[in-house]
Chains A and B, each alone.
Chain A
Amino acid sequence: MHIPDGFLDAKVIIATAALTVIGVGAAWRQTKKQLPQQQIPLLGLAAAFVFAAQMLNFPVAGGTSGHLLGAVLISVLLGPSAAIIVMTAVLVVQCFLFADGGVLALGANIFNMAVMGVLVGNAIYRIVLRILGGERGRIAAVAIASWGSVLAAALCCAGELAWSGTVAWQTAFPAMAGIHALIGVGEAVIACLVITAIKKTRPELLAVDSRPLPGRTVATVIVYGVVIVLGLVLFVLPFASAWPDGLETVAAKFGFDHQALARPLVPSLMPDYKFPGLDSAAFAMIAAGIAGVVVVLLLVFFLSRRLKGNT
Protein backbone atom coordinates (compact mmCIF):
# COMPACT_ATOMS: atom_id res chain seq x y z
CA MET A 1 0.00 0.00 0.00
CA HIS A 2 2.93 2.29 -0.58
CA ILE A 3 1.78 5.23 -2.70
CA PRO A 4 4.14 5.92 -5.61
CA ASP A 5 5.04 9.40 -6.77
CA GLY A 6 2.67 11.21 -9.07
CA PHE A 7 -0.50 10.00 -7.39
CA LEU A 8 -0.83 12.79 -4.88
CA ASP A 9 -1.00 16.45 -5.64
CA ALA A 10 0.80 19.27 -3.89
CA LYS A 11 -1.73 20.10 -1.19
CA VAL A 12 -2.00 16.50 0.00
CA ILE A 13 1.79 16.10 -0.01
CA ILE A 14 2.23 19.20 2.14
CA ALA A 15 -0.62 18.33 4.53
CA THR A 16 0.62 14.79 5.13
CA ALA A 17 4.22 15.95 5.45
CA ALA A 18 3.20 18.42 8.14
CA LEU A 19 1.23 15.82 10.09
CA THR A 20 4.08 13.34 9.73
CA VAL A 21 6.62 15.80 11.08
CA ILE A 22 4.42 16.47 14.12
CA GLY A 23 3.71 12.81 14.79
CA VAL A 24 7.22 11.48 14.23
CA GLY A 25 8.75 14.42 16.10
CA ALA A 26 6.58 13.71 19.13
CA ALA A 27 7.42 10.02 18.91
CA TRP A 28 11.15 10.76 18.66
CA ARG A 29 11.14 12.98 21.74
CA GLN A 30 9.12 10.39 23.61
CA THR A 31 11.48 7.62 22.58
CA LYS A 32 14.54 9.54 23.70
CA LYS A 33 12.98 10.06 27.09
CA GLN A 34 11.64 6.57 27.62
CA LEU A 35 14.29 4.33 26.17
CA PRO A 36 17.83 4.92 27.31
CA GLN A 37 20.79 5.05 24.96
CA GLN A 38 21.23 1.30 24.89
CA GLN A 39 17.94 0.82 23.14
CA ILE A 40 19.12 2.51 19.94
CA PRO A 41 20.72 -0.71 18.65
CA LEU A 42 17.46 -2.46 19.56
CA LEU A 43 15.47 0.00 17.48
CA GLY A 44 17.82 -0.42 14.54
CA LEU A 45 17.61 -4.19 14.78
CA ALA A 46 13.85 -4.05 15.20
CA ALA A 47 13.62 -1.99 12.02
CA ALA A 48 15.72 -4.59 10.19
CA PHE A 49 13.45 -7.27 11.67
CA VAL A 50 10.28 -5.57 10.40
CA PHE A 51 11.86 -5.19 6.98
CA ALA A 52 12.83 -8.86 6.88
CA ALA A 53 9.44 -9.94 8.24
CA GLN A 54 7.69 -7.92 5.55
CA MET A 55 9.57 -9.95 2.97
CA LEU A 56 7.98 -13.17 4.22
CA ASN A 57 4.94 -13.85 2.13
CA PHE A 58 2.20 -15.97 3.54
CA PRO A 59 -0.16 -17.87 1.30
CA VAL A 60 -3.66 -16.48 1.14
CA ALA A 61 -6.51 -18.15 -0.72
CA GLY A 62 -6.21 -18.78 -4.41
CA GLY A 63 -2.54 -18.45 -5.14
CA THR A 64 -2.10 -14.90 -3.93
CA SER A 65 0.08 -14.03 -1.01
CA GLY A 66 0.02 -11.24 1.47
CA HIS A 67 2.63 -9.79 3.73
CA LEU A 68 2.80 -8.30 7.16
CA LEU A 69 2.65 -4.62 7.99
CA GLY A 70 3.92 -5.15 11.53
CA ALA A 71 2.82 -1.88 13.12
CA VAL A 72 0.86 -3.41 16.00
CA LEU A 73 3.37 -6.25 16.40
CA ILE A 74 6.20 -3.82 17.02
CA SER A 75 4.13 -1.52 19.20
CA VAL A 76 3.20 -4.42 21.48
CA LEU A 77 6.88 -5.38 21.71
CA LEU A 78 8.46 -1.93 22.02
CA GLY A 79 5.74 0.60 22.84
CA PRO A 80 3.96 3.03 20.49
CA SER A 81 6.56 5.80 20.26
CA ALA A 82 9.40 3.42 19.45
CA ALA A 83 7.11 1.62 17.02
CA ILE A 84 6.50 4.86 15.10
CA ILE A 85 10.26 5.43 14.80
CA VAL A 86 10.90 1.85 13.72
CA MET A 87 8.18 1.86 11.06
CA THR A 88 9.39 5.25 9.81
CA ALA A 89 12.90 3.89 9.40
CA VAL A 90 11.57 0.88 7.49
CA LEU A 91 9.55 3.08 5.14
CA VAL A 92 12.47 5.46 4.54
CA VAL A 93 14.78 2.59 3.61
CA GLN A 94 12.13 1.00 1.41
CA CYS A 95 11.62 4.30 -0.36
CA PHE A 96 15.28 5.09 -1.03
CA LEU A 97 16.61 1.62 -1.69
CA PHE A 98 13.65 -0.04 -3.34
CA ALA A 99 11.73 2.90 -4.77
CA ASP A 100 8.77 1.22 -3.02
CA GLY A 101 6.66 4.30 -2.47
CA GLY A 102 7.58 7.67 -3.88
CA VAL A 103 10.00 10.17 -2.34
CA LEU A 104 7.50 13.02 -2.41
CA ALA A 105 4.80 10.66 -1.19
CA LEU A 106 7.04 9.56 1.71
CA GLY A 107 5.20 11.91 4.09
CA ALA A 108 1.89 10.34 3.17
CA ASN A 109 3.21 6.79 3.39
CA ILE A 110 4.80 7.41 6.78
CA PHE A 111 1.61 9.07 7.99
CA ASN A 112 -0.61 6.20 6.85
CA MET A 113 1.43 3.25 7.96
CA ALA A 114 3.83 4.43 10.64
CA VAL A 115 1.76 7.10 12.41
CA MET A 116 -1.90 6.20 11.87
CA GLY A 117 -1.28 2.46 11.77
CA VAL A 118 0.68 2.45 15.01
CA LEU A 119 -1.44 4.98 16.92
CA VAL A 120 -4.84 3.57 15.97
CA GLY A 121 -3.63 0.01 16.49
CA ASN A 122 -2.09 0.82 19.84
CA ALA A 123 -5.21 2.65 21.01
CA ILE A 124 -7.42 -0.32 20.08
CA TYR A 125 -4.97 -2.70 21.74
CA ARG A 126 -5.02 -0.84 25.03
CA ILE A 127 -8.78 -0.45 25.07
CA VAL A 128 -9.49 -4.10 24.33
CA LEU A 129 -6.84 -5.21 26.80
CA ARG A 130 -8.41 -3.10 29.51
CA ILE A 131 -11.85 -4.51 28.77
CA LEU A 132 -10.91 -8.15 28.40
CA GLY A 133 -7.71 -8.56 30.34
CA GLY A 134 -5.69 -11.69 30.89
CA GLU A 135 -3.79 -13.73 28.36
CA ARG A 136 -6.77 -14.54 26.16
CA GLY A 137 -7.61 -10.86 26.23
CA ARG A 138 -4.14 -9.97 25.02
CA ILE A 139 -4.48 -12.28 22.03
CA ALA A 140 -7.87 -10.82 21.17
CA ALA A 141 -6.51 -7.32 21.63
CA VAL A 142 -3.58 -7.98 19.29
CA ALA A 143 -5.90 -9.46 16.67
CA ILE A 144 -8.45 -6.65 16.66
CA ALA A 145 -5.77 -3.98 16.87
CA SER A 146 -3.83 -5.44 13.93
CA TRP A 147 -6.93 -5.56 11.78
CA GLY A 148 -7.83 -2.02 12.84
CA SER A 149 -4.38 -0.65 12.07
CA VAL A 150 -4.38 -2.05 8.52
CA LEU A 151 -7.85 -0.65 7.93
CA ALA A 152 -6.96 2.77 9.34
CA ALA A 153 -3.93 3.01 7.07
CA ALA A 154 -6.04 1.95 4.08
CA LEU A 155 -8.74 4.51 4.88
CA CYS A 156 -6.26 7.36 5.07
CA CYS A 157 -4.66 6.18 1.84
CA ALA A 158 -8.05 6.15 0.12
CA GLY A 159 -8.82 9.62 1.45
CA GLU A 160 -5.50 11.01 0.22
CA LEU A 161 -5.97 9.50 -3.24
CA ALA A 162 -9.49 10.88 -3.43
CA TRP A 163 -8.52 14.33 -2.21
CA SER A 164 -5.83 14.50 -4.90
CA GLY A 165 -8.40 13.68 -7.55
CA THR A 166 -6.51 10.54 -8.54
CA VAL A 167 -9.23 8.06 -7.76
CA ALA A 168 -12.83 8.93 -7.00
CA TRP A 169 -13.84 8.28 -3.42
CA GLN A 170 -16.68 6.03 -4.58
CA THR A 171 -14.08 3.71 -6.09
CA ALA A 172 -11.20 4.22 -3.69
CA PHE A 173 -13.06 3.65 -0.45
CA PRO A 174 -14.71 0.30 -1.25
CA ALA A 175 -11.63 -0.99 -3.08
CA MET A 176 -9.12 -0.05 -0.39
CA ALA A 177 -11.33 -0.80 2.59
CA GLY A 178 -12.57 -4.07 1.13
CA ILE A 179 -9.19 -5.48 0.15
CA HIS A 180 -7.50 -4.36 3.33
CA ALA A 181 -10.28 -5.74 5.50
CA LEU A 182 -9.23 -9.13 4.12
CA ILE A 183 -5.50 -8.44 4.38
CA GLY A 184 -6.12 -7.27 7.93
CA VAL A 185 -7.38 -10.71 8.86
CA GLY A 186 -4.10 -12.23 7.73
CA GLU A 187 -2.19 -9.57 9.64
CA ALA A 188 -4.23 -10.30 12.76
CA VAL A 189 -3.58 -14.03 12.56
CA ILE A 190 0.15 -13.64 11.98
CA ALA A 191 0.54 -11.04 14.72
CA CYS A 192 -1.27 -13.26 17.22
CA LEU A 193 0.81 -16.30 16.30
CA VAL A 194 4.07 -14.37 16.59
CA ILE A 195 3.13 -12.80 19.94
CA THR A 196 2.14 -16.22 21.26
CA ALA A 197 5.42 -17.72 20.08
CA ILE A 198 7.47 -14.93 21.67
CA LYS A 199 5.51 -15.26 24.87
CA LYS A 200 6.28 -18.95 25.07
CA THR A 201 10.01 -18.55 24.66
CA ARG A 202 10.81 -15.08 26.04
CA PRO A 203 7.81 -13.56 27.83
CA GLU A 204 9.83 -10.69 29.28
CA LEU A 205 10.09 -9.14 25.83
CA LEU A 206 6.47 -8.06 25.74
CA ALA A 207 6.78 -4.47 26.84
CA VAL A 208 3.30 -3.09 26.86
CA ASP A 209 0.50 -3.99 29.20
CA SER A 210 -2.40 -1.87 30.27
CA ARG A 211 -0.34 0.33 32.52
CA PRO A 212 1.03 3.42 30.81
CA LEU A 213 4.76 3.43 30.19
CA PRO A 214 6.83 5.59 32.55
CA GLY A 215 7.61 9.09 31.37
CA ARG A 216 4.63 9.37 29.09
CA THR A 217 3.01 12.72 29.65
CA VAL A 218 -0.47 13.97 29.02
CA ALA A 219 0.97 16.27 26.38
CA THR A 220 2.16 13.32 24.29
CA VAL A 221 -1.22 11.63 24.46
CA ILE A 222 -2.90 14.86 23.41
CA VAL A 223 -0.50 15.34 20.50
CA TYR A 224 -1.07 11.78 19.28
CA GLY A 225 -4.82 12.17 19.63
CA VAL A 226 -4.82 15.45 17.73
CA VAL A 227 -2.76 13.89 14.93
CA ILE A 228 -5.22 11.00 14.59
CA VAL A 229 -8.21 13.33 14.58
CA LEU A 230 -6.65 15.75 12.10
CA GLY A 231 -5.83 12.85 9.83
CA LEU A 232 -9.42 11.69 9.88
CA VAL A 233 -10.83 15.20 9.48
CA LEU A 234 -8.58 15.99 6.53
CA PHE A 235 -8.65 12.73 4.66
CA VAL A 236 -11.86 10.94 5.48
CA LEU A 237 -14.37 13.59 6.56
CA PRO A 238 -14.78 15.37 3.21
CA PHE A 239 -16.07 12.13 1.78
CA ALA A 240 -18.70 11.48 4.41
CA SER A 241 -21.89 10.32 2.83
CA ALA A 242 -24.32 13.12 2.04
CA TRP A 243 -27.31 10.76 1.99
CA PRO A 244 -30.03 11.51 4.55
CA ASP A 245 -29.71 9.74 7.86
CA GLY A 246 -32.20 7.30 9.38
CA LEU A 247 -34.61 9.84 10.82
CA GLU A 248 -34.63 12.02 7.72
CA THR A 249 -35.29 9.02 5.51
CA VAL A 250 -38.19 7.86 7.65
CA ALA A 251 -39.57 11.41 7.79
CA ALA A 252 -39.44 11.69 4.01
CA LYS A 253 -41.08 8.31 3.61
CA PHE A 254 -43.94 9.02 5.96
CA GLY A 255 -44.38 12.59 4.91
CA PHE A 256 -43.73 14.51 8.10
CA ASP A 257 -40.39 16.02 7.14
CA HIS A 258 -42.04 19.30 6.19
CA GLN A 259 -42.86 19.84 9.85
CA ALA A 260 -39.20 20.56 10.63
CA LEU A 261 -38.64 24.24 11.26
CA ALA A 262 -36.86 26.02 8.41
CA ARG A 263 -34.71 27.95 10.83
CA PRO A 264 -33.57 26.53 14.16
CA LEU A 265 -34.89 28.05 17.39
CA VAL A 266 -31.35 28.83 18.55
CA PRO A 267 -29.15 30.31 15.82
CA SER A 268 -25.88 28.39 15.45
CA LEU A 269 -22.43 29.47 14.36
CA MET A 270 -21.79 26.67 11.90
CA PRO A 271 -25.14 25.43 10.59
CA ASP A 272 -25.06 22.01 8.96
CA TYR A 273 -21.36 21.54 9.75
CA LYS A 274 -20.23 24.29 7.45
CA PHE A 275 -17.88 27.03 8.57
CA PRO A 276 -19.43 30.33 7.49
CA GLY A 277 -17.65 32.54 5.03
CA LEU A 278 -15.67 29.90 3.13
CA ASP A 279 -16.34 29.29 -0.51
CA SER A 280 -15.47 25.67 -1.07
CA ALA A 281 -17.90 23.27 0.55
CA ALA A 282 -15.17 20.78 1.34
CA PHE A 283 -13.00 23.35 3.12
CA ALA A 284 -16.02 24.65 4.99
CA MET A 285 -16.68 21.18 6.32
CA ILE A 286 -13.04 20.56 7.23
CA ALA A 287 -12.82 23.92 9.00
CA ALA A 288 -16.03 23.19 10.89
CA GLY A 289 -14.64 19.79 11.86
CA ILE A 290 -11.40 21.27 13.15
CA ALA A 291 -13.25 24.04 14.99
CA GLY A 292 -15.57 21.51 16.59
CA VAL A 293 -12.67 19.34 17.72
CA VAL A 294 -10.87 22.34 19.23
CA VAL A 295 -14.00 23.46 21.10
CA VAL A 296 -14.66 19.97 22.47
CA LEU A 297 -11.01 19.58 23.46
CA LEU A 298 -10.96 22.87 25.36
CA LEU A 299 -14.31 22.12 26.97
CA VAL A 300 -13.22 18.70 28.21
CA PHE A 301 -9.88 20.10 29.34
CA PHE A 302 -11.45 22.79 31.50
CA LEU A 303 -14.14 20.47 32.80
CA SER A 304 -11.58 17.90 33.85
CA ARG A 305 -9.50 20.59 35.55
CA ARG A 306 -12.55 21.68 37.46
CA LEU A 307 -13.56 18.15 38.44
CA LYS A 308 -10.04 17.31 39.54
CA GLY A 309 -9.92 20.43 41.66
CA ASN A 310 -13.01 19.31 43.56
CA THR A 311 -11.59 16.00 44.83
Chain B
Amino acid sequence: MRHSFLDRYSRLVSPIHGLSILSKLASTMMLLIIIVTLPVAFYGIFAVILFLLCIVAIMSRIPLLFLLKRMALLEVFVLTVSLLSLLQPNGILVFSRLVLKSSLCLFTIVLFSNTTPFSKLLEALRKWRVPPLLITLLALMYRYLFVLIDEMERMQRARTSRTFVRNRALLWRSLATIMSQLFIRSTGRAEKIFACMCSRGWQ
Protein backbone atom coordinates (compact mmCIF):
# COMPACT_ATOMS: atom_id res chain seq x y z
CA MET B 1 0.00 0.00 0.00
CA ARG B 2 1.45 3.30 -1.00
CA HIS B 3 0.56 5.20 2.12
CA SER B 4 2.74 3.64 4.69
CA PHE B 5 4.01 7.17 5.16
CA LEU B 6 2.26 7.42 8.49
CA ASP B 7 4.45 4.93 10.29
CA ARG B 8 6.74 3.92 7.53
CA TYR B 9 9.65 2.87 9.66
CA SER B 10 7.82 1.44 12.60
CA ARG B 11 8.31 -2.13 11.47
CA LEU B 12 12.05 -2.13 11.01
CA VAL B 13 14.22 -4.58 12.86
CA SER B 14 16.51 -2.97 15.38
CA PRO B 15 17.28 -3.15 19.10
CA ILE B 16 14.94 -0.25 19.77
CA HIS B 17 12.07 -1.70 17.76
CA GLY B 18 12.44 -4.92 19.70
CA LEU B 19 11.83 -3.34 23.11
CA SER B 20 8.43 -3.94 24.65
CA ILE B 21 5.69 -1.39 24.11
CA LEU B 22 5.34 -0.84 27.83
CA SER B 23 8.95 0.12 28.31
CA LYS B 24 8.92 2.41 25.30
CA LEU B 25 5.72 4.15 26.35
CA ALA B 26 6.79 4.47 29.97
CA SER B 27 10.20 5.86 29.08
CA THR B 28 8.66 8.27 26.56
CA MET B 29 6.18 9.62 29.10
CA MET B 30 8.84 9.89 31.79
CA LEU B 31 11.19 11.70 29.44
CA LEU B 32 8.46 14.11 28.37
CA ILE B 33 7.52 14.89 31.96
CA ILE B 34 11.15 15.47 32.89
CA ILE B 35 11.76 17.74 29.91
CA VAL B 36 8.65 19.81 30.55
CA THR B 37 9.01 20.25 34.28
CA LEU B 38 12.77 20.68 34.64
CA PRO B 39 13.89 24.30 34.95
CA VAL B 40 16.22 25.38 32.18
CA ALA B 41 19.06 25.99 34.62
CA PHE B 42 19.82 22.26 34.55
CA TYR B 43 21.12 22.39 31.02
CA GLY B 44 23.56 19.60 31.82
CA ILE B 45 20.66 17.20 32.13
CA PHE B 46 19.14 18.48 28.88
CA ALA B 47 22.44 17.79 27.12
CA VAL B 48 22.44 14.25 28.52
CA ILE B 49 18.87 13.72 27.31
CA LEU B 50 19.77 14.99 23.85
CA PHE B 51 22.76 12.64 23.76
CA LEU B 52 20.59 9.68 24.79
CA LEU B 53 18.00 10.49 22.15
CA CYS B 54 20.66 10.68 19.47
CA ILE B 55 21.98 7.27 20.49
CA VAL B 56 18.45 5.84 20.33
CA ALA B 57 17.98 7.43 16.92
CA ILE B 58 21.15 5.86 15.57
CA MET B 59 20.41 2.46 17.07
CA SER B 60 16.90 2.41 15.65
CA ARG B 61 18.21 2.47 12.07
CA ILE B 62 15.61 5.00 10.98
CA PRO B 63 17.04 6.99 8.08
CA LEU B 64 18.47 10.19 9.52
CA LEU B 65 17.30 12.26 6.59
CA PHE B 66 13.73 11.20 7.31
CA LEU B 67 14.09 12.16 10.96
CA LEU B 68 15.54 15.52 10.06
CA LYS B 69 12.78 16.25 7.58
CA ARG B 70 10.10 15.33 10.10
CA MET B 71 11.68 17.49 12.77
CA ALA B 72 12.01 20.40 10.35
CA LEU B 73 8.34 20.19 9.43
CA LEU B 74 7.22 20.11 13.06
CA GLU B 75 9.65 22.83 14.12
CA VAL B 76 7.79 25.24 11.87
CA PHE B 77 4.74 24.98 14.12
CA VAL B 78 6.83 25.35 17.24
CA LEU B 79 8.57 28.42 15.91
CA THR B 80 5.43 30.19 14.79
CA VAL B 81 3.86 29.96 18.23
CA SER B 82 7.12 30.69 20.01
CA LEU B 83 7.56 33.88 18.05
CA LEU B 84 4.52 35.24 19.84
CA SER B 85 6.27 34.79 23.13
CA LEU B 86 9.02 37.18 22.10
CA LEU B 87 6.65 40.09 22.51
CA GLN B 88 6.76 40.21 26.26
CA PRO B 89 9.30 41.31 28.87
CA ASN B 90 11.96 38.60 29.25
CA GLY B 91 10.95 37.44 25.81
CA ILE B 92 14.25 36.03 24.63
CA LEU B 93 14.59 33.76 27.67
CA VAL B 94 11.05 32.46 27.34
CA PHE B 95 11.53 31.95 23.61
CA SER B 96 14.73 29.95 23.96
CA ARG B 97 13.27 27.88 26.79
CA LEU B 98 10.22 27.06 24.68
CA VAL B 99 12.19 26.13 21.59
CA LEU B 100 14.58 23.94 23.58
CA LYS B 101 11.88 22.04 25.44
CA SER B 102 9.53 21.66 22.48
CA SER B 103 12.27 20.41 20.20
CA LEU B 104 13.41 17.81 22.69
CA CYS B 105 9.83 16.65 23.23
CA LEU B 106 9.26 16.51 19.47
CA PHE B 107 12.38 14.43 19.00
CA THR B 108 11.17 12.01 21.67
CA ILE B 109 7.72 11.63 20.16
CA VAL B 110 9.01 11.26 16.61
CA LEU B 111 11.35 8.50 17.75
CA PHE B 112 8.57 6.80 19.68
CA SER B 113 6.04 6.92 16.87
CA ASN B 114 8.53 5.59 14.36
CA THR B 115 9.55 2.62 16.45
CA THR B 116 6.09 1.49 17.48
CA PRO B 117 3.49 0.17 15.06
CA PHE B 118 0.13 1.71 15.85
CA SER B 119 -1.54 -1.68 16.10
CA LYS B 120 0.87 -2.75 18.84
CA LEU B 121 0.10 0.48 20.69
CA LEU B 122 -3.62 -0.34 20.55
CA GLU B 123 -2.92 -3.83 21.90
CA ALA B 124 -1.05 -2.33 24.82
CA LEU B 125 -3.95 0.05 25.49
CA ARG B 126 -6.36 -2.86 25.44
CA LYS B 127 -4.28 -4.64 28.08
CA TRP B 128 -4.56 -1.56 30.24
CA ARG B 129 -8.31 -1.87 30.12
CA VAL B 130 -9.16 1.07 27.94
CA PRO B 131 -12.80 0.34 26.87
CA PRO B 132 -12.61 -2.24 24.05
CA LEU B 133 -15.14 -0.36 21.92
CA LEU B 134 -12.81 2.63 21.92
CA ILE B 135 -9.93 0.39 20.82
CA THR B 136 -12.09 -0.98 18.00
CA LEU B 137 -12.92 2.56 16.96
CA LEU B 138 -9.26 3.59 16.83
CA ALA B 139 -8.29 0.38 15.05
CA LEU B 140 -10.99 0.87 12.40
CA MET B 141 -9.98 4.47 11.98
CA TYR B 142 -6.34 3.52 11.45
CA ARG B 143 -7.26 0.71 9.08
CA TYR B 144 -9.46 2.88 6.85
CA LEU B 145 -7.37 6.01 7.02
CA PHE B 146 -5.20 4.83 4.16
CA VAL B 147 -8.21 3.79 2.11
CA LEU B 148 -9.86 7.16 2.52
CA ILE B 149 -6.68 9.10 1.83
CA ASP B 150 -6.19 7.08 -1.35
CA GLU B 151 -9.74 7.81 -2.40
CA MET B 152 -9.36 11.49 -1.63
CA GLU B 153 -6.18 11.72 -3.69
CA ARG B 154 -7.83 9.93 -6.57
CA MET B 155 -10.73 12.37 -6.49
CA GLN B 156 -8.35 15.32 -6.34
CA ARG B 157 -6.38 13.98 -9.28
CA ALA B 158 -9.60 13.46 -11.22
CA ARG B 159 -10.66 16.99 -10.47
CA THR B 160 -7.32 18.46 -11.49
CA SER B 161 -7.30 16.56 -14.75
CA ARG B 162 -10.80 17.69 -15.62
CA THR B 163 -10.75 21.37 -14.72
CA PHE B 164 -8.69 23.85 -16.65
CA VAL B 165 -10.14 26.96 -15.08
CA ARG B 166 -8.47 28.60 -12.10
CA ASN B 167 -11.75 29.74 -10.71
CA ARG B 168 -11.61 29.89 -6.94
CA ALA B 169 -15.36 29.42 -6.46
CA LEU B 170 -15.19 26.29 -8.57
CA LEU B 171 -12.28 25.05 -6.52
CA TRP B 172 -14.17 25.47 -3.26
CA ARG B 173 -17.32 23.87 -4.58
CA SER B 174 -15.49 20.89 -5.96
CA LEU B 175 -13.67 20.58 -2.64
CA ALA B 176 -17.07 20.38 -0.94
CA THR B 177 -18.16 17.73 -3.42
CA ILE B 178 -15.06 15.67 -2.70
CA MET B 179 -15.63 15.89 1.04
CA SER B 180 -19.32 15.07 0.82
CA GLN B 181 -18.64 12.10 -1.43
CA LEU B 182 -15.96 10.93 0.98
CA PHE B 183 -18.42 11.03 3.85
CA ILE B 184 -21.25 9.34 1.96
CA ARG B 185 -18.97 6.54 0.82
CA SER B 186 -17.72 6.22 4.39
CA THR B 187 -21.22 5.63 5.68
CA GLY B 188 -21.86 3.01 3.01
CA ARG B 189 -18.57 1.35 3.88
CA ALA B 190 -19.38 1.42 7.58
CA GLU B 191 -22.61 -0.50 7.04
CA LYS B 192 -20.82 -3.11 4.98
CA ILE B 193 -18.08 -3.40 7.58
CA PHE B 194 -20.61 -3.93 10.34
CA ALA B 195 -22.32 -6.65 8.36
CA CYS B 196 -18.97 -8.33 7.68
CA MET B 197 -17.92 -8.14 11.33
CA CYS B 198 -21.20 -9.57 12.54
CA SER B 199 -21.11 -12.38 10.05
CA ARG B 200 -17.68 -13.29 11.40
CA GLY B 201 -18.89 -13.42 14.98
CA TRP B 202 -18.12 -9.98 16.40
CA GLN B 203 -20.19 -9.06 19.42
- Contact flag A28-B179 (CB < 8 Å), given A4-B81, A49-B148, A202-B184: no
**Closest chain B residue to A47, Cβ basis:** B141
Q: Once the chains are docked, how many angstroms separate the CA of A102 from the CA of B106?
A: 7
- Contact flag A45-B193 (CB < 8 Å), given A51-B145, A100-B74, A205-B187: yes
Cβ-based interface call for B168 (8 A): yes
Q: Pick the contact of B77: A2, A10, A38, A52 (CB < 8 A).
A: A2
A198 touches B77 (CB 8 A): no
Cβ-based interface call for B78 (8 A): yes
A197 touches B180 (CB 8 A): yes
A92 touches B149 (CB 8 A): no
Interface size class of B (residues with CB under 8 A): 35 or more
A45 touches B144 (CB 8 A): yes
B179 touches A194 (CB 8 A): yes
- Contact flag A89-B77 (CB < 8 Å), given A44-B190, A97-B7: no
Expressed in whole angstroms, the minimum distance between the Cβ of A123 and any Cβ of chain B is 23
B136 touches A99 (CB 8 A): no
- Contact flag A92-B138 (CB < 8 Å), given A52-B145, A56-B178: yes
- Contact flag A5-B179 (CB < 8 Å), given A44-B136, A45-B190, A168-B87: no
Residue pairs across A and B with CB atoms within 8 Å: the count is 214
Encoded as 1 (CB less than 8 Å from any A CB) or 0, chain B from 29 to 51 comes to: 10011011100000000000000
Cβ-based interface call for A58 (8 A): yes
Encoded as 1 (CB less than 8 Å from any B CB) or 0, chain A from 42 to 54 comes to: 1111111101110
Most chain B C-beta atoms within 10 Å of own C-beta, residue among A77, A95, A98: A98
A6 touches B102 (CB 8 A): yes
Expressed in whole angstroms, the minimum distance between the Cβ of A201 and any Cβ of chain B is 6
CB-defined contacts of B26 to chain A, threshold 8 Å: none
- Contact flag A89-B141 (CB < 8 Å), given A99-B74, A104-B32, A190-B176: yes
A7 touches B180 (CB 8 A): no
Q: Once the chains are docked, how many angstroms separate the CA of A93 from the CA of B148?
A: 15
B32 touches A190 (CB 8 A): no
A58 touches B171 (CB 8 A): yes
Identify whether the interface residues of A are mostly helix, strand, loop, or mixed. helix
Cβ-based interface call for A189 (8 A): yes
B113 touches A96 (CB 8 A): yes
In B119-137, which residues have CB < 8 Å from any A CB? 121, 131, 133-134, 136-137
A5 touches B197 (CB 8 A): no
Cβ-based interface call for A309 (8 A): no
Cβ-based interface call for B158 (8 A): no
Q: Once the chains are docked, how many angstroms separate the CA of A90 from the CA of B171?
A: 26
Q: Once the chains are docked, how many angstroms separate the CA of A254 from the CA of B154?
A: 69
B186 touches A6 (CB 8 A): no
A194 touches B94 (CB 8 A): no
Q: Pick the contact of A7: B32, B102, B171, B179 (CB < 8 A).
A: B102
Q: Pick the contact of A47: B137, B147, B156, B178 (CB < 8 A).
A: B137
Q: Once the chains are docked, how many angstroms separate the CA of A44 from the CA of B134?
A: 9
- Contact flag A40-B137 (CB < 8 Å), given A171-B88, A198-B180, A198-B183: yes
CB-defined contacts of A165 to chain B, threshold 8 Å: 94
Expressed in whole angstroms, the minimum distance between the Cβ of B29 and any Cβ of chain A is 7
In A1-41, which residues have CB < 8 Å from any B CB? 2-10, 13, 28, 32, 38-41
B88 touches A44 (CB 8 A): no
Cβ-based interface call for A220 (8 A): no
CB-defined contacts of A51 to chain B, threshold 8 Å: 141, 145, 148-149
Encoded as 1 (CB less than 8 Å from any A CB) or 0, chain B from 138 to 179 comes to: 111111110111011000100000000000100111011111
A-B contacts, 29 of them at CB < 8 A, read A4-B78, A7-B102, A10-B36, A44-B138, A45-B190, A46-B190, A49-B183, A51-B148, A51-B149, A52-B149, A55-B152, A58-B171, A58-B175, A68-B179, A77-B183, A89-B141, A93-B118, A93-B145, A98-B113, A100-B74, A104-B33, A104-B36, A189-B172, A194-B179, A194-B180, A197-B177, A197-B179, A198-B180, A205-B183
Question: Which 10 pairs between the two chains have the least Cβ-Cβ distance?
Answer: A44-B140, A6-B101, A193-B176, A5-B105, A197-B180, A6-B102, A42-B190, A168-B88, A47-B141, A45-B186
20 additional contacts, CB 8 Å, given A28-B131, A166-B98?
A4-B77, A41-B189, A41-B191, A46-B190, A49-B186, A51-B141, A51-B145, A52-B182, A53-B179, A55-B152, A56-B179, A77-B183, A99-B109, A99-B113, A103-B29, A103-B32, A193-B176, A197-B181, A198-B180, A202-B184
Q: Point out residues on B near A: beta carbons under 8 Å.
A: 6-7, 28-29, 32-33, 35-37, 70, 74, 77-78, 81, 84-85, 87-88, 94, 98, 100-102, 104-106, 109-110, 112-113, 118, 121, 131, 133-134, 136-145, 147-149, 151-152, 156, 168, 171-173, 175-184, 186-187, 189-191, 193-194, 197
